Structure 1
């Protein structure tokens, strides 16, 4: 099922998401719905809070970038109860967008490398290191679980310049080619 995307101003986007257990009701169906929604919206990642579920789950598919980044070939993962355990001191600034902030793209500085501990769909514990683009996308989705958005990382002047766009989103004036969920 394709789920509506919660847009800026929806309170679920500012909540710290809850840890889940293997017996979470209909978890596999929910994960399938996350994938279907992500693909329908042309996203590369989607976190549960973005579809109004305050639980610690996100999905990422970076295989589309395999030509430019061969290390991303086959990169399609579900992250359950993730915890980033290490951030590198080296940071890189690149443009980001977000399905919950349609029409807004800005450069964000993020650590270039991370180490993340998470559970897969079978609730196996996994610890992995990522660098470059994969690390960036993981951090972006992880932030959603912490009640953060990429605009939180912007300088004050850029935030002031975005004020009108953000107010429009908050007031339900959304221009997106997917179903949205406003306040």
Structure 2
């Protein structure tokens, strides 16, 4: 049974470190970390979580898009562990979209990201996967990938005017009021 790991907050130095390469994916500790991350992202109503967000500085994250109170219009997908990921190509088109972060509670920002990306990663079974991701799932991947290099979404904002509180986001964007 996986445990609920505490999610570290902005200011914790681990969030600003470059994460270490995962050498042995089948290591029991790495497999347990994957399970714990899947549990954490579900309980926190997230759509993704990176190992550094639970103070484990490994190049590993979970993409787990699904509708929830924080992202009611998210597409549905199985939680997917992405280990030692890379972006191999990207679209020329960059779009701004709203992002939040479990490590930066209470704030949303309009973040520019590539509309589509081609990625490679190793899955939890040690298999190399190659995919093209678009729209919201591409945004999740880029957001989590940034965590592996010590970058948080607020670093990507073009202007502080692109920030909003979670409460205002829920009222104005989610509820369109």
TM-score where L is the length of structure 2: 0.82
| Map of 1:173 onto structure 2 | none
In the alignment, which of 5, 8, 14 is matched to residue 12 of structure 1?
14
Number of residue pairs aligned between Structure 1 and Structure 2: 159
1:148 aligns with 2:147: no
Task: Report how far residue 63 of structure 1 moved.
Answer: 3.5
Residues of 2 paired with 1:26 and 1:63: CA distance? 27
Q: Deviations over 1:89-125 (max 9, x none)?
A: 1011111000000001011111101011100001111
The alpha carbon displacement at 1:68 in A equals 5.5
| Cα displacement (A) at 1:29 | 1.2
> For 1:77 and 1:9, how far apart are their aligned partners in 2?
27
| Distance in 2 of aligned mates of 1:14 and 1:112 | 25
Q: What is residue 47 of structure 2 aligned with on the other side?
A: 44
Larger RCO, structure (CA 8 Å, separation 6 or more): 1
TM-score (norm 1): 0.79
1:75 Cα offset (Å): 3.8
SS class of match (1:106): strand
| RMSD of aligned residue pairs (Cα, Å) | 2.3
**Is the 8 Å Cα contact of residues 99 and 110 (structure 2) preserved in structure 1?**
yes
Alpha-carbon distance in structure 2 between the residues aligned to 1:58 and 1:6:
15
Runs of 4+ in 1 over 6 A off after TM superposition: none
User: Separation in 2 of the partners of 1:127 and 1:88?
Assistant: 16
| Structure 2 unmatched runs, 5+ | 166-177
1:32-75: per-residue Cα shift (whole Å, max 9, x none)? 1111111111111110000001001111111438x967xx4434
Partner of 1:77: 80
Q: How far apart in 1 are the matches of 2:117 and 2:40?
A: 27
Which residue of structure 1 lines up, in the alignment, with residue 101 of structure 2? 98
5+ residue gaps, structure 1: 166-183
From 5, 26, 30, the counterpart of 1:27 = 30
- Other structure's SS at 2:104 match: coil
SS in 2 for 1:34: helix
